[in-house]
Structure 1
Amino acid sequence: MDENYDVIVLGTGLTECVLSGILSVEGKKVLHIDRQDFYGGESASLNLSQLYKKFKPSAQKPEFLKGRDRDWCVDLIPKFLMSNGELTNILVHTDVTRYIEFKQIGGSYVYRSGRIAKVPANEMEAVRSSLMGIFEKRRMKRFLEFIAKYDEDDTTTHQGFNLDKNTMEEIYAYFGLESGTKDFIGHAMALWSTDNYLNEVARPTYERIMLYVQSVSRYGKSPYIYPLYGLGELPQGFARLSAIYGGTYMLDTPIDEILYDDDGKFSGVVTKEGKAKAPIVIADPTYFPERVKKIGSKVIRAMCILDHPITGTNDLDSVQIIIPQNQVGRKHDIYIAVLSDVHCVVPKGYYLAIVSTIIETETPHVELEPAFKLLGERLDTLMGIAELYEPQTDGTDSNIFISKSYDASSHFETTTDDIKDIYFRVTGKPLVLQKRPTIEEEQALNGL
């Protein structure tokens, strides 16, 4: 296999596969290798046998769980896509949506004073919401109208604020919002996982609320969509895209040696297939453990198998529930993603609830108790703890570009930030998505 490539990509996590797909479309010759025999790396979806082998190796998968192995597709990293978010834009612009079918998530809920309530999706829902008293509803409505009408070029819509100077706390104070309302705006709409944002400038929060509102208005029920058969479909979709444009994939291929040139820059890899050379490598943190650092936080994730929908959600087939840290005396939010057979991830009659948060104590499973209470009776629970890593350098000195670990957040916006960041470091230009012709349009153009 002694060959030359433009880029070698190690690991088939979502970040790596998106970059591999985009670079292949741009005409780069890409070799993509994974030591595992399945796609997805840390962001794979596992069948029932794989799941129990990973989380309860000493136990057999339980007899009482019905359905075939492949009827189960359980995400290792549970996240939803914002229907107007960056990852959705990348999927549309690269035409990967042709390989993947999406379903909307039924509702977005927030935990408040011991119970859950639907996050208002618009001003009308805010007025009907059980989260607020009548006067607070008016204040919230005024706040949402301010956000909706804010126009950069029209100072009459700014109400005296500068989003790049004023903090979010100052804007909340101006509208007189209660702490519980601030909680659900900041954590269930802007999707911040801590309260640090309160004392930072307001623009990022404004942009996040706009993303939430626009994502909701796209389909109506919630801002989230999710691929049928699990998130493992996403890396595979980008892998197909890469293959169409000449990318080469090798699964089940461990790396025997990393090659460097005289300047200490990356120059290739050696595998059982031989030597492959390239001036650049993109990899997940597991391939270069000596070049990454722990960011000091760990994520705990619990996969809970249920036989009933979540109480208080009108028996919806899927929901996102956010427990803001303030509500349970924590520093980080707890996220719950609930899916069912309509998403083709469990057999009929089952529900999958995946709980995740950043660990804060020596007894992480106890930290998930508020979530477990909301879920009710569980048939089984599988828990895993993941250390979070990030690269020590930006990679330009060695041409080794390493992705970050997937965080505890419930959506992909931080992952797409990392994708855009790596793309910029690799190519020296920002990622600008051009709408590509579909394969049919290309074939028509070429007279096929």
Structure 2
Amino acid sequence: MELDDHFDLVVVGTGVTESIVAAAAARVGKSVLHLDANDHYGNEWASLSFSQINEWCKRLNHAVSSDQTMPDHSELSGEESIIDCSENFVTIFNCSMIDYSLKEQRDDDGENPNENRDRQWTFEKLTENDRRFSIDLCPRLLFSRGSMVDILVQSNISRYLEFKPLTRLLSYLKESRELIDVPCSRADVFSNKLISVIEKRILMRFMTECIDQTNISQQLEGFEERPFKEFLKSKDLSEVLQQFIINAVAMVDENETTENAMVGVNRFLSSLGRFGNTPFILPLYGSGEIPQAFCRLCAVFGGTYCLKRSLNGIIVDTNSKVTHVITNNQRIKCEYLVTSLSQTPKCMLPEKLSYTVLSKAVFISNGSVKPSNKEESSFFRLAADEEIDHAVYVLEVGNDIHVAPKGVFIVYCWCLSKNEDAKKDLLPVAKKLFDFSCSENSSKPKLLWSCYYNQKFVDCSNNFEMKIKSAFVVSPPMNELDYDFAISEARQIFSTMFPDSEFLPRAPDPDEIVFDDLLVDASENAMH
């Protein structure tokens, strides 16, 4: 496919940040070429079918050297040089996939969840339901009054998406080793049977005080730099209520400073009641729908999309400024280049990059970690303990948001890594949530399939010393719930390239777009 020979902006990688930048540029009239070496949208933020994630994991474990050839130097002028793009920076590694639905032998941990178990969900049956799975590589929750919801509404991109509220928040009680529902509304508080009438009144009083910013600011005096747990104790909150607030509301460690923890409390409370009982909403069909929605807007406003297409080379002038890119041996002029870190040539980056390693896991089970009379989406935070080195986010979703067949649940876990070994970090979590005892009477669900992997996070928004100018490298997903960091980075990149342009103004609906006095249905230009 022959492309135009000039674009204002070339974007490589269809992750969230890259897609926001591409959409924002196209929206203000810039010509955009958006490439991705993958055969799907989303890059590290994608949602994959069951067969796709199996293939994705196999590719990671059997990586082969690039078959790209170095572009021809003969057409370069004396003032140009070329950057070889055949070797990229690797962000995802150490992938381990285990199929419990099929294996009979014990795994390397001496466990076999398969013995004497219900064989209803075999690997073949999971594969037969392949297209009913939408498995996130980067699961996310959206605060109802968070930055992503704001930008989706402001830009009118929300019309490309559908959402449902997260139906319940849970809390893991260390003493009883059980998951319990966290009351989010006044009605929930007073109908909760696990806390006493006195505790209910104390909890409601605390929440009311937190909403009153003037009042709570006065009460914080002297506690700002002290551990949050000390502040909660001073409010006469019981141990159970303290765990509710620390893990489910503030979502911090108990020794976090009170001032920092209250930021999380305020964020939680401000999002309550906008779209549902909890402060969170989830996109139907998976978080991979988010970057695709921004790509769709970019395409509507003239962006050109090519999947399974990567850069062969980058041409720079004597000032180390990008002037052209080469893809499929075609030379294309551009003013700016934006690339995801995972599709950035290593030679463009500093020799030593400081990074944080995240551990991630995807589990598929035959039941919910907390059974209910209806299918629900659930979220909770497991605090660090003697078995878990770092606090772990846990999200369970299923047929309720159209990401799995009925009766099957997907559980995501992610945390900071201590050992750069996702399985070592998160297997203890799996053993808390799933039945590894081979007991027929276990109340825990059976594990059908799992995938562990590690991911490097590099803060590219720090403007590390780039070797070439007019090029921007985008950070991979970080350890957060919402999309705050990705949006902030996209704004920063866009404002640097186009300082006089508005960032994602509202997009008109199709019937509002008029060119040359003719009504044009913009959806005709959308991606198929």
Bigger mean CA deviation after superposition, 427-436 or 291-300: 427-436
1:306 aligns with 2:372: no
1:18 aligned partner, one-letter code: I
How far 1:13 sits from its partner (Å)?
Answer: 0.7
Match of 1:54 in 2: 56
Map Cα deviations across residues 149-191 of structure 1 (whole Å, 9 max, x no partner): 215xxxx664255799766737546535466645543432233
How far 1:322 sits from its partner (Å)?
Answer: 1.5
2:420 & 2:320 partners in 1: Cα distance?
41
Bigger mean CA deviation after superposition, 419-428 or 343-352: 419-428
1:342 & 1:188 partners in 2: Cα distance?
22
Given candidates 398, 406, 409, the residue that maps to 2:480 is 409
Match of 1:441 in 2: 512
1:386 aligned partner, one-letter code: Q
CA contact (8 A) 2:134 2:286 kept: yes
Structure 1 residues 321 and 431, CA gap change in structure 2 (3 angstroms) = farther
How far 1:274 sits from its partner (Å)?
Answer: 1.0
1:423 aligns with 2:494: yes
* Secondary structure, counterpart of 1:317 in structure 2: coil
Match of 2:247 in 1: 187
Match of 1:175 in 2: 235
2:16 aligned partner, one-letter code: L
Match of 1:80 in 2: 141
Match of 1:215 in 2: 271
1:187 & 1:272 partners in 2: Cα distance?
50
Bigger mean CA deviation after superposition, 161-170 or 222-231: 161-170
Given candidates 236, 254, 268, the residue that maps to 2:324 is 268
Structure 1 residues 386 and 163, CA gap change in structure 2 (3 angstroms) = farther
Structure 1 residues 445 and 215, CA gap change in structure 2 (3 angstroms) = farther
CA contact (8 A) 1:321 1:336 kept: yes
1:10 & 1:93 partners in 2: Cα distance?
25
Structure 1 residues 256 and 444, CA gap change in structure 2 (3 angstroms) = closer
How far 1:122 sits from its partner (Å)?
Answer: 3.2
2:404 aligned partner, one-letter code: V
Given candidates 372, 377, 387, the residue that maps to 2:456 is 387
* Secondary structure, counterpart of 2:269 in structure 1: helix
2:218 aligned partner, one-letter code: Q
How far 1:129 sits from its partner (Å)?
Answer: 4.7
Structure 2 unmatched ranges of 5 or more:
62-96, 103-122, 435-443, 520-528
1:437 & 1:207 partners in 2: Cα distance?
35
1:323 aligned partner, one-letter code: L
Match of 1:34 in 2: 36
1:286 aligns with 2:342: yes
* TM value normalised by structure 2: 0.73
Given candidates 12, 15, 37, the residue that maps to 1:13 is 15
Given candidates 214, 225, 231, the residue that maps to 2:287 is 231
CA contact (8 A) 1:86 1:416 kept: yes
- Count of residues in Structure 1 that have an aligned counterpart in Structure 2: 439
* TM value normalised by structure 1: 0.85
1:91 & 1:337 partners in 2: Cα distance?
22
* Secondary structure, counterpart of 1:21 in structure 2: helix
CA contact (8 A) 1:283 1:403 kept: yes
How far 1:257 sits from its partner (Å)?
Answer: 0.5
CA contact (8 A) 2:37 2:309 kept: yes
Structure 1 residues 428 and 106, CA gap change in structure 2 (3 angstroms) = same
CA contact (8 A) 1:55 1:383 kept: no
Match of 1:317 in 2: 376
CA contact (8 A) 1:107 1:316 kept: no
CA contact (8 A) 2:320 2:469 kept: yes
1:176 & 1:295 partners in 2: Cα distance?
43
RMSD of Structure 2 on Structure 1 (CA): 3.4
Match of 1:400 in 2: 471
* Secondary structure, counterpart of 2:139 in structure 1: coil
1:427 & 1:354 partners in 2: Cα distance?
37
Match of 2:302 in 1: 246
Structure 1 residues 333 and 68, CA gap change in structure 2 (3 angstroms) = same
Give 1 or 2 for the bigger CA radius of gyration: 2
1:37 aligned partner, one-letter code: D
Structure 1 residues 180 and 328, CA gap change in structure 2 (3 angstroms) = farther
1:401 aligned partner, one-letter code: F
Structure 1 residues 424 and 138, CA gap change in structure 2 (3 angstroms) = farther
2:502 & 2:264 partners in 1: Cα distance?
20
2:206 aligned partner, one-letter code: F
* Secondary structure, counterpart of 1:97 in structure 2: helix
Match of 1:65 in 2: 126
How far 1:443 sits from its partner (Å)?
Answer: 4.5
1:236 & 1:139 partners in 2: Cα distance?
45
Structure 1 residues 408 and 427, CA gap change in structure 2 (3 angstroms) = same
CA contact (8 A) 2:361 2:422 kept: no
